[in-house]
Structure 1
Amino acid sequence: MTQSTNPPTNPRLPAFDAASAKPEQKAVLDEILSGPRGNLNGPFLGWIHSPELAQHAQRLGAFCRYNTGLSLRLSELAILVTAVRWQAQAEWYIHYPIALKAGVPEALAEQIRTGAQPRFDEPDDALIHAFVTELYDTKRVSDATYARAVERFGHETTINLVGLLGYYALVAMTLNVFGMRAEGQTSLPFPE
């Protein structure tokens, strides 16, 4: 699945020291660590340098990850497609095992990662992939794809899907701009 190299990392932000954190930073960290994530893996140690952004973003992220109305499988599939579109090393590394555990077939994940034409066993997987790729490819979603999504998931969940995609694009941009890697990451899913 991944290139097994020791990934270079070029952090553009100063190291964060929790012991000397400002009260606003400590509040954000405490909320993240006591929430459903329970860890700081991902963009959080980048965002923490802007505590107000960090607080809003992490709360939006908790909603997008756990409360969209989509199953975890479909949310994770959408996140994997986003990681590929942004070539976000850490985003893929973090979400790939979660996606597999949620039921995304390994072969499907690999097809998405490599840009091969995906083969879907589940109609919902095909619909999510169509919606996400159409939005990324054309910056719009056709009436036909939108109608299928609303018919299957309803308006609220379709709106939440768009929010999930926007949030994980923000995550990918953060990880890419600041050269961040996931905790324990020793391989890269995409060439650099």
Structure 2
Amino acid sequence: MTQPQHPRLPAFEAASATPEQKAVLDEILSGPRGNLNGPFLGWIHSPQLAQHAQRLGAFCRYSTGLPLRLSELAILVTAQRWQAQAEWYIHYPIAIEAGVPEALAEQIRTGVEPVFEEADDALIHAFATELYDTKRVSDATYALAVERFGHETTINLVGLLGYYALVAMTLNVFGMRAQGQTTLPFPE
């Protein structure tokens, strides 16, 4: 167990929210997420960013064309790369429920070379890892992704990885933890 990091942003008080902030909060709470866990209480200090980012996030999380298992696997790879405590904490149980094997998630979390039972898992991991390591994706990996998922979903995968990198950066820069988080998946 660890002491929560002190966030760098002032606490947000819904009672004193501006109309723009209230509109963002209402949209998030009435949408598929239904909660403010994650970067939203950081972004709310910039309501325009919050509105655009939360809409992009809803698309990236629920409408990319990837099965939930593969989206969540990509999010775990991102959380591990950024050592984003809250992102991992929030998405780990979702990934496991969506079918990501616990052993695979643990290999990713600890930086051990993963052993894949599913070709799609290996492809998502290779795509994300190449992008994070080289800032590019090889022709071979790209061709496999397009062959398996099509151009649109491959484009959406890039968007998902970029969005969750933004989430990780937000959580890390502003010292944010997930609601109820008392343990950290990564050392600090």
TM-score range, shorter chain: over 0.9
Q: Using the alignment, how far apart are the partners of 1:143 and 1:30 within structure 2?
A: 43
TM-score, normalisation: structure 1: 0.97
Matched, 1:39 2:45: no
Contact 2:4 2:182 in 1 (8 A): no
> 1:17 is matched with which residue?
13
1:77 aligns with 2:73: yes
Residue 121 (structure 1) aligns with: 117
Quote how far apart the aligned CAs of 1:9 are.
Answer: 1.2
Residue 108 of structure 1 is matched in structure 2 by 104
Q: Give 1:7 shift.
A: 3.4
Instruction: Quote the RMSD (CA, aligned, Å).
Output: 0.5
Specify the alignment match of 1:189 in structure 2: 185
Deviation at 1:140, TM superposition (A): 0.2
Matched, 1:29 2:25: yes
Post-superposition, which runs of at least 4 consecutive aligned residues in structure 1 deviate over 4 A?
A: none
Paired with 1:68 and 1:7, the residues of 2 have a C-alpha distance of 36
Partners of 1:82 and 1:168 within 8 A in 2? yes
- CA drift at 1:191: 0.2
Residue in 2 aligned with 1:171? 167
**Structure 2 CA distance for aligned equivalents of residues 8 and 124 of structure 1:** 36
Provide, for residues 111-155 of structure 1, a one-character-per-residue CA deviation record: whole Å limited to 9, x for no partner.
000011101000000000000000000000000000000000000
Equivalent in the alignment of 2:151: 155
User: Matched residue pairs, number?
Assistant: 188
Displacement after TM superposition at 1:8 (Å): 2.9
**Alpha-carbon separation, structure 2, partners of 1:7 and 1:169:** 24
Letter in 1 for 2:89: Y
CA distance in 2, matches of 1:166, 1:55: 17
Q: Is the 8 A contact 2:171 2:177 kept in 1?
A: yes
Give, in whole Å, the separation in 1 of the partners of 2:115 and 2:3: 30
Matched to 1:167, the amino acid is: Y
2:94 aligned residue (92, 98, 107) = 98
Query: Normalising by the residue count of structure 2, what TM-score does the alignment of the two structures yield?
Result: 0.99
Q: Specify every segment of 5 or more residues in structure 2 that has no aligned partner in the other structure, as ranges.
A: none
